[in-house]
Amino acid sequence: MMLSRFTFTEKGRTLRTKKDSVVLNGVRVPRYTNAFWTSRQRQAHSLHEVSYRACFKPQLPRFFIERLTVVGDRVYDPFSGRGTTVLEAALCGRRVAANDVNPLSAILSAPRMNVPSVEAVNARLEAIPVDHTLRSDIPLSMFYHRRTLAELLSLRKYLLAKAKKGTLDDVDRWIRMIATNRLTGHSKGFFSVYTLPPNQAMSAASQRKVNALRRQRPEYRDVKAIILRKSRLLASDATAEEQRKLRAASRSGQFITGDARRTRALRSVSIALTVTSPPFLDVVQYAQDNWLRCWFNGIDAEAVGSGITMSRTVEDWCSVMQQVFRELYRVTKKGGWVAFEVGEVRNGTVRLEEYVAEMGRTAGFRCEAVMINRQRFTKTANIWGVSNNTKGTNTNRIVLFRK
């Protein structure tokens, strides 16, 4: 992969890659800096439009998938999140494997490999009766109109019953994925009254304060109509050929819920490329944002949160990631690649790529390069303290390894 010759053109402006080198723990490694993919929003496939906090742009994994793999190779992400890497790999005709300690990851990612028709989704929703006598086991009236809540509780009851019996089909899983994604948000495309963006849920007490401040009350939102609308939007880019590729990837794909340090379900020397971004120290609190999504899916949010790595010190983080690298070395083919995105945390005072390079080498990999993707970020990124190369996670910093 000749990164030094790479140029990027957007809006009539051509950017050439800057090449220099950096010494990481006594070893000189090539470093390449450029805008390697677009900074514009909503330039990726419509199937990616599922909200999940702290996820990278689809253009990042595609950059490596197109250059480092061929059709039929297996692409893996041990911290899969919403499934950006594996969905992009499937669209490129690659086989896929995904892992995440958060069970919501598989719920949000696997169903998008099997896109049902809107007619099938509509028929299934019509077949689910609404029971207006159902009552929630947690207080939710600050989020939902009573009729919306009845529809939501009925859908939840149906999905949990089928999941318990093991009879969920592709249409059920698709509906569950969309409903999970539409639980709360800040527009009429969500089931809730105005609240935080959909990738984190406010507490009930905080939502009451927001309602009082905005002088708002939950209005009726049609659950079925919202799910159908989102179904159309998600599938709008999916061609027949892409759907064929997605189904093929689904048949051979693995969606694992577990610790990235121990993925026994993955065969040794089976992965051609890993593209991933691990949890960064204490920058983002993954677990606390998902209590409502966990409730809807019958998941113990406290148990999930306790199992997610949120190391407070670099030393603790490195201890965990070293074990992840050993596991990645086990599953990676000879000649296979790992693209490990680490960002820039704590106002740039902690350069994780220096630690990552050493961990990869200790595991047996060869550190091929450090890539720095510099771009202007969006207003959504600014919510999380990411602001145009000045503070927070302000660049994509990728350490590239080969076995």
**Residue among 272, 308, 240 at smallest CA distance from 99:** 308
CA atoms within 13 A on the CB side of 40: 7
Res 378 pLDDT > 70: no
Residue 137 is predicted with a pLDDT of 94
Percent of the chain exceeding pLDDT 70 equals: 85
- At 360, give phi and psi (nearest 5°): -60, -45
CA atoms within 13 A on the CB side of 34: 22
Residue 11 is predicted with a pLDDT of 58
Read off the pLDDT of each residue in 262-276 and give the average, rounded to a whole number: 98
Three-state DSSP state, 333: strand
33-67 pLDDT, tens per residue? Answer: 887 776 665 568 999 999 877 678 899 999 999 99
Higher pLDDT, residue 308 or 74 = 74
Angle between the 223-235 and 118-126 helix axes, to the nearest 10 degrees? 160
Angle (CA) 386 388 393, round 5°: 35
**Residue among 253, 255, 259, 254 at smallest CA distance from 101:** 259
Residue 193 is predicted with a pLDDT of 97
Is the separation of the CB atoms in 106 and 96 below 8 Å?
no
Res 147 pLDDT > 80: yes
Strand partners, 19: 32
Res 250 pLDDT > 70: yes
CA 196/CA 184 separation, integer angstroms? 7
Res 297 pLDDT > 90: yes
pLDDT band at 23 (very low <50, low <70, confident <90, very high): confident
Residue 287 is predicted with a pLDDT of 61
385-399 pLDDT, tens per residue? Answer: 444 444 444 578 899
For residue 89 the two structure tokens come to: 């790999």
Distance of CA 395 to the CA centre of its chain: 18
Res 233 pLDDT > 90: yes
Angle (CA) 1 354 257, round 5°: 80
CA atoms within 13 A on the CB side of 143: 25
CA atoms within 13 A on the CB side of 201: 24
**Residue among 32, 27, 91 at smallest CA distance from 399:** 32
Is the separation of the CB atoms in 100 and 277 below 8 Å?
no
Residue 292 is predicted with a pLDDT of 93
Lowest mean pLDDT: which of 302-306, 308-312, 320-324, 399-403?
308-312
Res 375 pLDDT > 80: no
Residue 160 is predicted with a pLDDT of 99
Residue 18 is predicted with a pLDDT of 83
Q: Residue ranges of the domains in the chain?
A: 3-113+238-402, 118-233
Read off the pLDDT of each residue in 268-287 and give the average, rounded to a whole number: 82
Residue 38 is predicted with a pLDDT of 67
**Residue among 89, 22, 35 at smallest CA distance from 276:** 89
CA 222/CA 176 separation, integer angstroms? 16
The tokens 């998008």 sit on which residue? 112
Three-state DSSP state, 22: strand
- Please give the radius of gyration of the chain, using alpha carbons only, rounded to the nearest integer: 21
Read off the pLDDT of each residue in 106-128 and give the average, rounded to a whole number: 98
The tokens 């660049």 sit on which residue? 395
Report how far apart the first and last C-alpha atoms of the chain are (Å, whole number).
Answer: 15
Higher pLDDT, residue 157 or 19 = 157
Exposure class string for 172-203: b at 16+ Cβ within 10 A, else e:
bbbbbbbbbbbbbbeeeebbbbbbbbbbbbbe
Q: What is the mean pLDDT of the chain?
A: 88
Percent of the chain exceeding pLDDT 90 equals: 68
Instruction: Give the CATH superfamily of 3-113+238-402.
Output: Vaccinia Virus protein VP39 (3.40.50.150)
pLDDT band at 382 (very low <50, low <70, confident <90, very high): very low
Read off the pLDDT of each residue in 268-290 and give the average, rounded to a whole number: 82
For residue 287 the two structure tokens come to: 């677990």
169-180 pLDDT, tens per residue? Answer: 999 999 999 999
Which helix (H) or strand (E) element contains residue 241? helix 240-252
Residue 192 is predicted with a pLDDT of 97
CA 257/CA 251 separation, integer angstroms? 17
CA 341/CA 284 separation, integer angstroms? 15
155-200 pLDDT, tens per residue? Answer: 999 999 999 999 999 999 999 999 999 999 999 999 999 998 776 7
